Amino acid sequence: MKRVMLAWLVTAVFAGEALAVEVMHWERRPLAIPLPVDEERIVTLDRNVRVGLPPALANPEVLRVQSAGGVLYLKAFETFETQRVRVQDVESGDVLLLDLSAGEGVSSEEILVVDSRESSPASSSSGSGGAKTVSTPPSSAQASGTAAQRASTTPVPVLLTRHAAQSLYAPQRTIEPLRGVSRVPMRLPESLSTLLPSLPVTATPLGAWRLDGWMVTAVKLENNDRRRAFELDPRWLQGDFYSATFMHPYLAPRGSVEDTTTVFLVTRRGGLDRALIPLEEADDAEEGAS
């Protein structure tokens, strides 16, 4: 089996306009975030994270969590009491704690989490009365500057994955510009039978983008089993990838709303067509796993 470097990074990146943003300052104390029922609430962290859910919230019928390039999309489907959620920065390993609860009549206003260690004196003074302040969104010039600063320090695979996710699923006006990126031909068959040979999944390539010698390919995954759901683990992928990023952490049984997701595969020195394991090797690997 060829090497696969695991990365839990971006899943999809969407940006939205809002009239106001609630700012919460992370000061090593858990942040209390109430969620409305049946309505999504966005929490911007500006860092790639992985989310650890307690057993009470691990059921997708209770809470849906999507991590998207530093943004959490949280949607509660029923009310629940306060539960502590562990959020870890993928790159630094830092841990942030969220106390989530859900109830009727709760605001769905977007939340921006600011690390107090990194905030400027001006921004700190705006929150002198407590842990939360309300501010208006940055101007387009400020947003461009922030995006450029982030791009200068963010690894290319992360930038590419985020751009691909935005290109496929975000409104055109919200896609962050990424200098030098280009969409390229995939040179792939309509279905990638060797990508996940051990699972009853159909893998369909959607698009590919290149930047600075790196390439990311988006592949749609569809569960063909009407009875079973699957947790998605990059270790099940067969191929020579730098990183693999799933939009959702699992696939629900076929016929349900969540039976389809997308995986973003980053490769170097060639596209996905050169990174996939030949059919014969994939068959051998599947037999060995069984």
Residues 165-174 as b/e (b if ≥16 CB within 10 A, e otherwise) read bbbbebeeee
Alpha-carbon dihedral 206, 209, 214, 219, rounded to 10 degrees: -10
Q: Which of 3, 6, 13 is nearest to 162 (CA)?
A: 13
- Residue located via tokens 């691909």: 164
Q: Which residues contact 157 (CB under 8 A, 6 or more apart)?
A: 7, 9, 214, 216, 242, 243, 266
Q: Which of 265, 253, 181, 256 is nearest to 220 (CA)?
A: 265
Quote the pLDDT of residue 138. 42
Quote the pLDDT of residue 123. 33
The per-residue pLDDT for range 129-185, each reduced to its tens digit, is 333 333 333 444 444 444 444 445 678 888 899 899 988 888 777 778 888 999 988
**Which phi and psi angles does 279 have, rounded to 5°?**
-55, -40
Alpha-carbon dihedral 213, 185, 12, 77, rounded to 10 degrees: -150
Are the C-beta atoms of residues 201 and 254 closer than 8 Å to each other? no
Q: Cα 238 to the chain's mean position, in Å?
A: 21
* Coil/strand/helix, residue 74: strand
In order along its 290 residues, the chain shows pLDDT tens digits of 343 443 333 333 333 333 346 888 888 889 999 999 999 898 888 777 888 888 889 888 999 988 766 788 899 999 999 999 988 877 777 888 999 999 998 988 888 888 765 443 333 333 333 333 333 334 444 444 444 444 456 788 888 998 999 888 887 777 788 889 999 888 899 999 999 988 999 999 999 999 988 999 999 999 999 999 988 888 889 999 888 888 888 899 999 888 999 999 999 888 898 888 875 554 554 454 44
The per-residue pLDDT for range 37-46, each reduced to its tens digit, is 999 898 888 7
Give the CATH H-level superfamily of domain 21-136.
Immunoglobulins (2.60.40.10)
Domain boundaries, the chain: 21-136, 182-289
